[in-house]
Amino acid sequence: MSNNGILYMLPVTLGADNLQQVLPDDVIQLAQGLDTFIVENEKTARRFLSLIKTHKPVRELALLPLNEHTTDAELPALLAPLRAGKDVGLMSEAGCPGIADPGARLAELAHRQQIRVAPMTGPSSILLALMGSGFNGQRFTFLGYIPSDKQARIQALKDLERHSRQHRETQIFIETPYRNQHLLEDILAHCAAETRLCIARNLSLPTELIISKPIREWRKSELPELHKQPTVFLLLA
């Protein structure tokens, strides 16, 4: 039997202090008892750990960084506590680790080293958006970030709309929050009138907004404010 610790994939809130609304009690209790965490953002991690009132003072917890700048060569050292038998929590900056998040790379390596990976229940903006959209939940693709270059973005939108039409597949994507409004404008300008668009903003927060309707109706509507607000876009042609 392996003496390795368990890598717990610990979800966090999507930006509010609404712990009881989005996280099960057993997830909070598990996180409270850990003293080693692998985190995407140390500042937000410390805030979350203070919020859940960990058994040890937050200043005494070990926080190991794993972000977009972490190289593959640095990953094995992050698993050292687990190989020594310690349970460790892996946390994203927001939502579920491993989903549109660098934590997936560490989970892959953990599997190769026979370290148990245990996902815990919590909010995923991608799945919440799909659930609330009314779009095809049997067949869907998450595409990550849309290209930032305008011409490449327009071409990507045309390509994913074509794919959605051919396969009746929901296309889910995101953008850096300060470019949300530009992405929305390009969707309305270049996608077909009958293609359905869902905008899911600030999911699980008091300012949550989920609206689904055809592009032709979006073009006649007052557009929601998306600038610098976390938003998931969904298309179904």
Pair 83, 114: CB distance under 8 Å: no
Q: What is the pLDDT of residues 74-126, one digit of tens each?
A: 999 999 999 999 999 999 999 999 998 899 999 999 999 999 999 999 999 99
Q: Which of 21, 14, 19, 41 is nearest to 32 (CA)?
A: 19
Could you please report the per-residue DSSP string of 39-98? ES-HHHHHHHHHHHT-SS-GGGSEEEE-STT--GGGHHHHTHHHHTT--EEEE-SSS-TT
CB within 8 Å of 56: residues ≥ 6 apart: 35
pLDDT tens by residue, 26-83: 999 999 999 999 999 999 999 999 999 999 999 999 999 999 999 999 999 999 999 9
Domain boundaries, the chain: 6-119, 125-236
For the domain covering 125-236, report its CATH number: 3.30.950.10
Mean pLDDT rounded to a whole number for the chain: 95
Whether 2 has a pLDDT exceeding 80, the answer reads no
What are the tokens at 142?
């998450």
pLDDT tens-place string over residues 69-78: 999 999 999 9
pTM over 0.85: yes
6-119: CATH architecture: 3-Layer(aba) Sandwich (3.40)
Q: What is the pLDDT of residues 149-162, one digit of tens each?
A: 999 999 999 999 99
